[in-house]
Amino acid sequence: MLAASIGAPELSLDVSGPAPAAASLPSLASAIQTAAARDPLVLEALARLQAQEKTTAAIGARLRPDLLATGTLSGRAGGATSGDAAAITGGGFLPDVPNWDVGLVLSWTLFDGVTLARRNASEVEEDVQKEEVALYKERQVAEIEEAYVRASVANAVLPALRSAAAGAVANYAQADARFQAGLGNAVELADAEALRTDADVQLALGVFAIARARAVFGRAIAEGL
């Protein structure tokens, strides 16, 4: 069953050595802060919100005025003979009488219903994206708090399970000594062995519960990403 659960090619698989201890729990505040910076769903929602905000700004930029600059410069005198019969230098193709002009053109659309409607629709979409981000964050905090409580409870129960297992081992040793000395019977010894076995099983389940709760908590805070 162990080999099949982890997809091992061998037909049977065994374990050796103690199981790795679960990582310690960080503080709840730091866990929430870490998750906010790593959670893929929150990051995706924030990216969509930023893209929508830029879209709104781009649409709104169409309503701004356009400022254009214009200018011309002419250095030709023309090829025609002047009234005083003065000679034109270079046949009119060399600069002789510089002429120039500059100007500014301001263009501003007073009303653009289509652009205004597009901007308003984009702003509404922004509000939807903001609500989605808030929803993801609230759901994230709820999952983290639940996982944190479960992991804390599992850690709190473990000392009692270890004490029970140690007491069951001592009880079995005492029952075995009584049986060896002829002061006890096989039923007492069997009961002590069953109690020790049950305590070991409960301790193993408690350790597994801690590891599982810690893994769920690590997934909730996007640990390792």
Contacts 24+ apart (CB under 8 A), 177-180: none
Q: 132, 52 in Cβ contact below 8 A? A: no
Q: 112, 62 in Cβ contact below 8 A? A: yes
> What tokens were used for 57?
């700004």
> What tokens were used for 187?
């039923």
Mean pLDDT per 10-residue segment, the chain (225 residues): 82 75 80 84 90 92 88 65 59 61 86 89 92 90 91 91 93 89 86 92 91 89 76
pLDDT, residue 79, reads: 54
Provide the 8-state DSSP code for 92. Answer: G
CA 49, 53, 54: angle at the middle one, nearest 5? 120
> What tokens were used for 110?
């007073």
Mean pLDDT of the chain: 84
pLDDT, residue 202, reads: 93
| 70 phi/psi in degrees, rounded to 5 | -135, 155
Write down all domains in the chain, each with its CATH number in brackets: 24-53+128-220 (1.20.120), 66-107 (no CATH)
pLDDT, residue 48, reads: 92
Q: Which run of H or E residues covers position 66?
A: strand 66-76
pLDDT, residue 94, reads: 59
Q: What is the pLDDT of residues 1-48, one digit of tens each?
A: 878 888 888 878 887 777 667 778 888 888 888 888 888 888 888 999
Question: In sequence order, which residues have a C-beta less than 8 Å from that of residue 89 and are 6 or more positions away?
Answer: 77, 96
pTM of the model: 0.62
Q: What is the pLDDT of residues 169-178, one digit of tens each?
A: 999 999 889 8
Q: 23, 114 in Cβ contact below 8 A? A: no
Provide the 8-state DSSP code for 20. Answer: P
